[in-house]
A and B are shown apart, each in its own frame.
Chain A
Amino acid sequence: MKKIFVITFLTLLSLTGFTQTVTNNFENAGGWKYYSNVCWGIGMNNEYEYFNTNVVGGGFTGSKVCQTQNLGEKNICRLESPWTNLAAGNIEFDHAVPSKDGNRKLTVYLVKEDDSKLKILEFTYTDSKSKHASIANNFTGIRKIRWEWTGNDGNSRGQLDNIVIPGTNASDPSHDCEPMAAIIDADGDGVPDTQDEYPNDKYRAYNNFYPATGFGTVAFEDNWPAYGDYDLNDLVMGYKFKIVSNAQHNVVEIFNTMLLRANGAGMENGFGYQLPAVNPGSIRAVTGAGNQSGYTISDNGTETGNPTKATIIVFDKSHQYMNEWNTEKGVPPVPDVQFDIYLEFMKNGVAGAAGTITVSNLNIAQWNPFLVANGQRGREIHLPNYLPTDLADQSLFGTGDDDTQTGKYYKSKTNLPWALDIYGAFDYPAEHMDISQTYLHFGAWVESSGANFKDWYSNTGAGYRDDAKIY
């Protein structure tokens, strides 16, 4: 029964002459600009010599046609098809000079890549009625169809509609509508070698960075829920994420570099971060973190107790890694302490138990860093309006100067934060130097709700900071 169906189907196909075609009825609402971008040689003011065709209303069928400019102003107007891999069959189209005035002729050519051309139709208009053309074609290979209207008197225009060309599109609209070139892709992942950052690795394709260049900075006050001195140097971390993805847009791995830059605090503070869009089960392994005593860590390296959002503990006690505060003027600084944390999402194309996540859905800018104050796991301090982890001690909310409640997190009653995330490098204040008095446009940035002095943390010009207060 199946064999009979297949035979019948194939017979019907051959009887109908089914073949692929390149068509245009000019009905797209985008007009000439749309068709130009999908490689029809059409449009106002483009580079084609004497070229001036447009898409207008009043079509033979549907509502739109391709129409030339007034030939009285130009000696010649033309339209071209995309490069087409021609097949045998009929080239069909409707044409007219609907308000014929003066001498008008339409010539149709097959054009090769070297711009040589072969005339396949010449038609002299004697009236304004629409015509249908059907040109038998036996040529194969890469060609364009070119329609040229010529005339040197009167004021009439040429029109064209309902084009059908036997063959398949061979233009590449992403490369100036040139004929499609063979793609070299050594690992066969679909990303051309010239664009693939891992051309011989089918499991990897791209690196995306956050921040885009250099390091970002998160800076904390650790006295939450009470105010501190707002020197924002109780913990200062530099951070950088390198996100490796594959050709299917999925995250393969993240290389996260963390720099412990300062711990201007008497307390032994820990640091971690949550990836709110990542199920812990999507991570196969985490390596490179520091000591995590006092924390419960799963087999895959994420912290337990946060079942829906992957949580990474970077270290437990800052002073174990940095014995100087790196905030006191006159005390020589010690080098940053670097943590190279590796998060494996996929291995040889196999994802973690909870499946894949795309780079866009990861949305790394939403990473949720937090300080853990003085070894008290529940006393975590986040950026303003960032959610607590499942292990936060919510009994601390609303105490002291804190005003955390539903819809408002880690802000005071006057909407002040206990942490800041700076997109870029940040020269933090020295010990006990209030950030508002160190960065002189910080207050204006805050009180304008971010409208003014978006670059307050830079040293863009004179008057941006009091250098004497910077560590």
Chain B
Amino acid sequence: MTSLKSIKLIGFVLLFITFSLSSCQKDVPPAPDTTAGTTTELKVAADFDWKTSREITLNVIGLKEVNPAINNTFYVNSSAGVTYYKDLLTMNQDYTIKFAVPSTETTLVFNYGSKTKTVEITSSSLTYDYITE
């Protein structure tokens, strides 16, 4: 009888400890990951542009030997198939094209007819010359 009482008492104590530990924790709101508490406390570099997009200048180098002229639609796509830019290009002419992509974009896929080329965005100025492996 006594041992049964002791077991029950231990069980209640254990339950009490468990609930008290779990219910003591307050709901703490998630915190920003900087030491600045508010926006006005942020340390901002003078040259930060605050942009969430990136402008790309693409220099297209024509294949001058292509004769007669070949016209096709040139697509600049994301790897997921989102089209950032498209236009008709003549294959033996040079072009300078400007378009914007989200800053999170790291790869572009250039399509021209059967030619596909994937490039990493390493700079805001890229070159495409129709040459594929």
Q: Could you say which residues of chain B place their CB within 8 Å of the CB of A360?
A: 87, 95-99
Mark interface residues in B90-106 (1 if CB within 8 Å of A CB, else 0). Answer: 01000111111111100
How far, in Å, is B44 (CB) from chain A's closest CB?
4
Q: Does B47 contact A (CB under 8 A)?
A: yes
**A56-B107 Cα distance, complex, nearest whole Å:** 34
Tell me which residues from 146 to 199 in chain A have a Cβ below 8 Å from any Cβ of chain B: 168-169, 172-176, 190-192, 195
- In the complex, identify which listed stretch (A1-9, A262-270, A316-324, A438-446) lies at the interface while the others stay far away: A438-446
Mark interface residues in B74-102 (1 if CB within 8 Å of A CB, else 0). Answer: 00001000111111100100011111111
Q: Does B2 contact A (CB under 8 A)?
A: no
**A363-B83 Cα distance, complex, nearest whole Å:** 15
Given contacts A416-B40, A436-B38, contact A457 B52 (CB under 8 A): yes
Given contacts A249-B88, A424-B102, contact A449 B42 (CB under 8 A): no
Q: Does A30 contact B (CB under 8 A)?
A: yes
Interface bin, chain A: 35 or more
Asked if A441 and B33 sit within 8 Å, CB to CB, the answer is yes
Chain B residue at smallest Cβ distance from A172: B70
Q: Does A405 contact B (CB under 8 A)?
A: no
Asked if A363 and B55 sit within 8 Å, CB to CB, the answer is yes
**A28-B115 Cα distance, complex, nearest whole Å:** 21
Q: Could you say which residues of chain B place their CB within 8 Å of the CB of A385?
A: 49-50
Q: Could you say which residues of chain A place their CB within 8 Å of the CB of B91?
A: 173-174
Q: Could you say which residues of chain A place their CB within 8 Å of the CB of B115?
A: 174
Given contacts A172-B70, A230-B39, contact A440 B33 (CB under 8 A): yes
Q: Does B19 contact A (CB under 8 A)?
A: no
**A363-B98 Cα distance, complex, nearest whole Å:** 6
Q: Does B16 contact A (CB under 8 A)?
A: no
Q: Does A300 contact B (CB under 8 A)?
A: no
Summed over the interface, the residue pairs from A and B with CB atoms below 8 Å come to a total of 181
Interface of A is mostly: loop
Q: Does B26 contact A (CB under 8 A)?
A: no
Which residue in B52, B87, B96, B97 is a CB contact (below 8 Å) of A245? B87
**A190-B88 Cα distance, complex, nearest whole Å:** 9
Asked if A383 and B50 sit within 8 Å, CB to CB, the answer is yes
Asked if B88 and A247 sit within 8 Å, CB to CB, the answer is yes
How far, in Å, is B113 (CB) from chain A's closest CB?
3
Q: Could you say which residues of chain A place their CB within 8 Å of the CB of B68?
A: 168-169
**A393-B28 Cα distance, complex, nearest whole Å:** 45
Asked if B42 and A436 sit within 8 Å, CB to CB, the answer is yes
**A88-B45 Cα distance, complex, nearest whole Å:** 71
Asked if B42 and A191 sit within 8 Å, CB to CB, the answer is no
**A38-B91 Cα distance, complex, nearest whole Å:** 10
- In the complex, identify which listed stretch (A113-121, A206-214, A283-291, A334-342) lies at the interface while the others stay far away: A206-214
Asked if A447 and B88 sit within 8 Å, CB to CB, the answer is no
Which residue in B32, B84, B114 is a CB contact (below 8 Å) of A443? B32
Asked if B113 and A175 sit within 8 Å, CB to CB, the answer is yes
Mark interface residues in A322-338 (1 if CB within 8 Å of B CB, else 0). Answer: 00000000000000000
Given contacts A34-B131, A205-B88, contact A436 B39 (CB under 8 A): yes
Asked if A173 and B70 sit within 8 Å, CB to CB, the answer is yes
Q: Could you say which residues of chain B place their CB within 8 Å of the CB of A109?
A: none
Asked if A30 and B38 sit within 8 Å, CB to CB, the answer is no
How far, in Å, is B84 (CB) from chain A's closest CB?
5
Asked if B97 and A437 sit within 8 Å, CB to CB, the answer is no
Given contacts A173-B66, A440-B31, contact A230 B45 (CB under 8 A): no
Chain B residue at smallest Cβ distance from A435: B39
Q: Does A280 contact B (CB under 8 A)?
A: no
**A465-B132 Cα distance, complex, nearest whole Å:** 43
Q: Does A463 contact B (CB under 8 A)?
A: yes
Chain B residue at smallest Cβ distance from A34: B131
**A447-B35 Cα distance, complex, nearest whole Å:** 10
Asked if B55 and A446 sit within 8 Å, CB to CB, the answer is no
Q: Does B43 contact A (CB under 8 A)?
A: yes
Q: Does A37 contact B (CB under 8 A)?
A: yes
How far, in Å, is B56 (CB) from chain A's closest CB?
10
Among B34, B43, B132, the one with the most A-chain Cβ atoms within 10 Å of its Cβ is: B34
Q: Does A468 contact B (CB under 8 A)?
A: yes
Given contacts A174-B113, A423-B52, A444-B34, contact A455 B104 (CB under 8 A): yes
Could you pull out 19 A-B pairs where Cβ atoms are within 8 angstroms?
A: A37-B132, A173-B91, A174-B112, A174-B115, A190-B88, A209-B83, A363-B55, A421-B53, A434-B39, A436-B36, A436-B37, A443-B32, A443-B33, A443-B39, A444-B34, A447-B34, A450-B49, A454-B104, A468-B29
Q: 5 tightest CB-CB pairs across the interface, nearest first?
A: A174-B113, A365-B100, A443-B34, A415-B44, A230-B39
Give the B-binding residues of A (Cβ under 8 A). Answer: 28, 30, 33-34, 37-38, 168-169, 172-176, 190-192, 195, 205-206, 208-213, 227, 230, 245, 247, 249, 359-361, 363-366, 383-385, 408, 414-417, 420-424, 434-437, 440-444, 446-447, 449-450, 454-455, 457, 463, 465-466, 468
Give the A-binding residues of B (Cβ under 8 A). Answer: 29-34, 36-40, 42-53, 55, 63, 65-68, 70-73, 78, 82-88, 91, 95-104, 112-115, 130-133
Known A174-B113, A447-B34; further 19 A-B contacts with Cβ < 8 A? A173-B70, A206-B87, A209-B83, A227-B40, A230-B38, A383-B50, A384-B50, A414-B40, A423-B52, A423-B102, A424-B52, A440-B33, A446-B44, A447-B42, A447-B43, A450-B51, A454-B52, A466-B30, A468-B29
